[in-house]
Structure 1
Amino acid sequence: MQGLQYRWGAAETKCWVVLQLRNLAKRFESSAKVVEQLVAENAVLIFSVTSCCMCDVIKRLLCSLGVNSVVCELNEVEEGLSGDICWALASMVGCGGGGEKMLVVAVALPIVFVGRKFLGGLDRHMVVHISRELVPRLKETGALCL
């Protein structure tokens, strides 16, 4: 996506790229469009916050498998856009309300998309990983070349 800035996370291993979302509200009609575009353009996309241990676990799990994920750290998104992105994510993954914005949007992080599909959070990833289904999915999407 044009205009996005990227920086490396996990400097010691350079395993994932952190999106720097700046001035996106001006380029897109809505945060939902931003999220849809990010999901469409990335084989593995993680919505996270830097202070969440479960988010860190999923980033390190994918890193240990050799996947270069793209990470959107919601606590580093410009003010005002983070809540809109959370609303868009809640609507996409099925935990948002009807058509109106709720006063509080509760989104369980991390939210992970693999191959343009919502796979789930950490619990779902661990189930898929332990059942040996994660690596084949990653290979299918081109996120893992083994």
Structure 2
Amino acid sequence: MERVNELAKSKAAVIFAKSSDCMCHSIKTLFYDLGASPTVYEIDYDPKGREMEIALQRLGCMPSVPAIFIGGNFVGSAKDVLAAHLSGSLKNMLIAAKAIWL
């Protein structure tokens, strides 16, 4: 859990993902389209990926990926990010965290 927290706070926008997951790809694409360059941790390539996946599940992320952090705060999974995008609050979160500039 400590490693996940440290990585999540290391950059303005952080996505924990798996390389073969289509929702992970969609969320990364959404961030890029909004002008953000999130730090992406592909947990299936990380030697401690299984431990990270368990920590993400303990945070309440089901399924474990994608798990999105903005400004060091856990935003949620794909459905939470998509809901924030549709309401217009995702862009505001990214601006507040200095992940994008206008």
Does the pair score TM above 0.5?
yes
3-state SS of paired residue (1:75): coil
Provide the identity percentage: 30
Which residue of structure 2 lines up, in the alignment, with residue 10 of structure 1? none
Equivalent residues of 2:36, 2:99 under 8 A apart: yes
Q: Specify the code of the residue in structure 1 equivalent to 2:55.
A: A
Give the gaps of 5 or more residues in structure 2. none
Which residue of structure 2 lines up, in the alignment, with residue 133 of structure 1? 89
Counterpart check, 1:69 vs 2:38: yes
Counterpart check, 1:56 vs 2:12: no
Q: Specify the code of the residue in structure 2 equivalent to 1:110.
A: P
Residues 63-98 of structure 1, C-alpha deviations (whole Å, 9 max, x = no match): 0011010001011112xx11111122222x236xxx
Which residue of structure 2 lines up, in the alignment, with residue 90 of structure 1? 57
Give the gaps of 5 or more residues in structure 1. 1-31, 96-105
Query: How far, CA to CA, are the matches of 1:69 and 1:118 in structure 2?
Result: 14
- Larger relative helix fraction: 2
Query: How far, CA to CA, are the matches of 2:76 and 2:96 in structure 1?
Result: 17
Query: How far, CA to CA, are the matches of 1:48 and 1:90 in structure 2?
Result: 13
Point out which structure has higher relative CO (alpha carbons under 8 A, 6+ apart): 2
Question: When the two structures are superposed, what TM-score results if normalisation uses the length of structure 1?
Answer: 0.65
Equivalent residues of 1:86, 1:107 under 8 A apart: no
Question: When the two structures are superposed, what TM-score results if normalisation uses the length of structure 2?
Answer: 0.91
3-state SS of paired residue (1:108): coil
Which residue of structure 2 lines up, in the alignment, with residue 21 of structure 1? none
Q: Where does structure 1 differ by over 3 angstroms across 4 or more consecutive aligned residues?
A: none
